[in-house]
Amino acid sequence: MAGKSSATPTTYSPSLTGQKKKRPSFLTDSDWVRPDGRGPHQCRPAFLRTGAVNSASGSAYAEFGNTKVIVSVYGPRESKKAMMYSDTGRLNCNVSYTTFATPIRGQAPETKDLSSMLHKALEGAIILKSFPKTTVDVFALVLESGGSDLPVITTCASLALADAGIMLYDMVASVSVSSIGKNLLIDPVSEEESYQDGSLMITCMPSRNEVTQMTVTGEWSTPKIHEAMQLCLDACSKLGKIMRSCLKEAASGPQD
Amino acid sequence: MVGLSLGEQNFIKGGIAQDLRTDGRNRLAYRPIFVETGVIPQASGSARVKLGATDVIASVKAELGKPNLSHPDKGKVSIYVDCSPTAEPTFEGRGGEELSAELSSALQRCLLGGKSGAGAGIDLSSLSIVEGKVCWDLYIDGLVVSSDGNVLDALGAAIKAALSNTVIPKVQVAANASSDEQPEVDVSDEEFLQFDTSGVPVIITLTKVGKHYIVDATTEEESQMSSAVSVSINRQGRICGLTKRGGAGLDPSIILDMISVAKHVSEQLINKLDSEIAAAEACDEETEMDC
């Protein structure tokens, strides 16, 4: 699908402030050569489109390298009768993997975990008071899992919510960083994720400069966390701009 | 839990702003910690931790198993938390499932490190018996008996105590096993290996209420929080895991500030916890010697 787009693929590689060189040199460990030839601080080109699913209130398709995700948003629609009255809206998230998404058939990770993390990432950005008594359903389907899945799912879900017209405080962009030895690799692929010593994922609202979700695994020293956070936040703000331009294109497109 | 009136909410927020919480503590003070080890005789190790009114039990069971194909020289650890209906009536049946899943994944993140196994609080290579064939599977189970806030910290402390109480039997492998057969292992009843827990981190949850952070929040204080960050720090002061909980957004500089506050608090907590665990183990040995 990416080959059919006429525009050049957009990328959101961050710039590490205070450091001129793009590739940090390592004294002891050998450089990790990335399988797709990217630099350690270079993200995959992002392909984003809205309006992928016609029957949904809003939908989006995202393709980041080999990670392909489609998200559809239904709502606001009536809450189930069993649920109690609530004067704020409700958000219901569901993440599922297709059986052919992973290299080995049916080897999907814990989707309940991913669903609850998606919920937490999005609930800070949605203005729930704008749709009381109703529910917004977000369904994410991972068509191919090529690494850095949850950040792509979150980004795509936020685009789908905007496409559905749900009121948001800001777009939600998400990026993850993998630490392998002394290298910090942004936007890892599945091979790099399997070798990683630690990972840091940030979901933030770029214009408000607010972090809605952050998870860190593995052992990190404080300066390393500082550096990784800077990288992620920089990439998130660039990704936010790309998301906005995608929405603008979609809005101005049909009028031609 | 009974809802809080507006006056009570303001009282909690105002107290926190003035460094005097409803139970008289400072913002960065923990409730008295009470540790008891060896509470479950059938398990390889167990501990019960009481943090004020929060009461959790952790048990460790070691069983022989086959290692993962991608990591043949490492054992396996699986962490699972169960929220008992005695803690909250809403936990009955599937009600507590969401909280259990959140706690289990947060603990796994803090204790098991990255996918390659580096930075894990538990040394997985020490659990391997015969590379590629036999290893120890550790099943760590947590049970929340009573919940009055800060359950994650209590579970982290209970798991640390349970691991230091864990004894793994010595295993002798039959020397003349051929390379592709399953080797015969003889599990010794007499000799045991103590588990090394110096690397196990503690979990510190910082709850943000208004403009200030508090440590060890009670249920009432947690109801007033805007967001919380749980940081897992080990003895060397390195961060082994971080989870942000709660819906509201946080400025990145605040998160970094919370990390440094958590580091500062962790030194005292690790020392306190170690002394409590040592006291509990000593108490345990005394009662054993008496019978």
Q: Is the peptide bond before A45 cis (omega within 30 degrees of 0)?
A: no
Position B151 scores a pLDDT of: 92
Q: Which residue has the higher pLDDT, A87 or B50?
A: B50
Distance from CA of B195 to the nearest CA of A (A): 21
Q: Taking all residues of chain B, what is their mean pLDDT, rounded to a whole number?
A: 84
Position A18 scores a pLDDT of: 38
The whole model's pTM is what? 0.84
Share of chain B above pLDDT 90, in %: 25
Test the B interface: residue of A90, A211, A234 with most B CBs within 10 Å: A211
Averaged pLDDT, A80-94: 83
Q: Which residue has the higher pLDDT, A27 or B275?
A: B275
Cβ separation of B260 and A222 shorter than 8 Å? yes
In this structure, the number of other CB atoms found within 10 A of the CB of residue B160 comes to: 25
Position B118 scores a pLDDT of: 61
Which residues of chain B are at the A interface, by a Cβ-Cβ cutoff of 8 Å? 70, 98, 101-102, 105, 109, 112-116, 118-119, 229, 234, 238-252, 255-256, 259-260, 263
Residue B24 pLDDT greater than 80, yes or no: yes
Cβ separation of A211 and B255 shorter than 8 Å? yes
Q: Taking all residues of chain A, what is their mean pLDDT, rounded to a whole number?
A: 84
Q: How far apart are CA B158 and CA B57, in angstroms?
A: 6
Cβ separation of A116 and B115 shorter than 8 Å? no
- The count of CB pairs under 8 A between chains A and B is 110
Q: Which of chain B's residues have a Cβ under 8 Å away from the Cβ of A231?
A: none
- Residues comprising chain B, all counted: 291
Position B69 scores a pLDDT of: 76
Position B164 scores a pLDDT of: 87
Q: Which residue has the higher pLDDT, A153 or B98?
A: A153
CA-based nearest residue in chain A for residue B101 = A113
| Architecture of the structural domain at A37-249 | 2-Layer Sandwich (3.30)
Cβ separation of B114 and A198 shorter than 8 Å? yes
Q: Which residue has the higher pLDDT, B9 or A196?
A: B9
How do the domains of chain A map onto residue ranges?
A: 37-249
Mean pLDDT lowest among A179-188, B37-46, B130-139 = B130-139
